[in-house]
Amino acid sequence: MKLFKNLFHVTMFVNDINRSLEFYNKLGFETLFDVRLNPDAKPWNYYLRIAHEQYLELQTVEGAAPNPHPAPSKARRYPDQGLWHFALQTEDIEATIKTLTEKGITVWKDPEKSGIVTDISGVHRGEDGCLIVWLFDPDDNPIEVMEQVGQTLQRKTDYID
């Protein structure tokens, strides 16, 4: 079994969500859904479909993001930087954690490195329904590892070309 199925999404911070959505929609990226802390809250995250199971995720710089996602004010960000992480999709997050750990790669609970994950009990379930853990490359760039379980928001809104 391959460790990863595909590049699942790339996430960028954006300054003006309306301008960004208009731009990416013109490129043919379909806005699938937004994510909110509660139904009355302002969206902090938008999912756009590039192709089947490949997404661009836009996060507003003023958005109130939940844990384990850091608010933009907590993320290490440089003036000319818009990208803050990319995500890899796996079909078995438990086996992936085991393999990565055996290879000496530290698996984290969240992008703030609040805890090391060694088995399925430490895995976070995101608001979209995916199981999530985090890795960091040698330059400390965050990499999200996700497994879709059941009817995730992505599966509810995606279709096969």
pLDDT given at position 56 = 87
Let me know if residue 1 belongs to a domain: no
**pLDDT at residue 77 above 60?**
no
Whether 112 is covered by a domain: the verdict is: yes
Which distant-in-sequence residues (6+ apart) come within 8 Å of 153 by Cβ? 32, 33, 35, 47, 127, 128, 129
pLDDT digits 0-9 by tens, 29-48: 899 999 888 888 888 889 99
User: Using an 8 Å Cβ cutoff, are 45 and 21 in contact?
Assistant: no
Residue 97 has pLDDT above 70, yes or no: yes
For the chain, counts of helices (H) and of strands (E): 3, 8
For residue 96, give Cα distances in angstroms to 53, 64, 80, 118, 158: 19, 30, 33, 10, 24
The pLDDT of residue 108: 95
The domain containing residue 113 runs over which residues?
A: 6-157
Who wins on pLDDT, 151 or 65? 151
- Is the predicted pLDDT of residue 139 greater than 70, yes or no? no
pTM of the model: 0.67
Number of separate domains in the chain:
1
**103 CB contacts (<8 Å, ≥6 apart)?**
none
If one compares 79 and 149, the residue with the highest pLDDT of the two is 149
With 0-12 CB in 10 A as exposed, 13-18 as middle and 19+ as buried, what is 98? middle
pLDDT for the residue numbered 112: 87
Residue 24 has pLDDT above 90, yes or no: no
71 assigned to some structural domain: yes
- In angstroms, rounded to a whole number, what is the distance separating the alpha carbons of residues 147 and 87? 10
Determine, yes or no, domain membership for 68: yes
- Residue 64's CATH number: 3.10.180.10
- pLDDT the model gives residue 44: 84
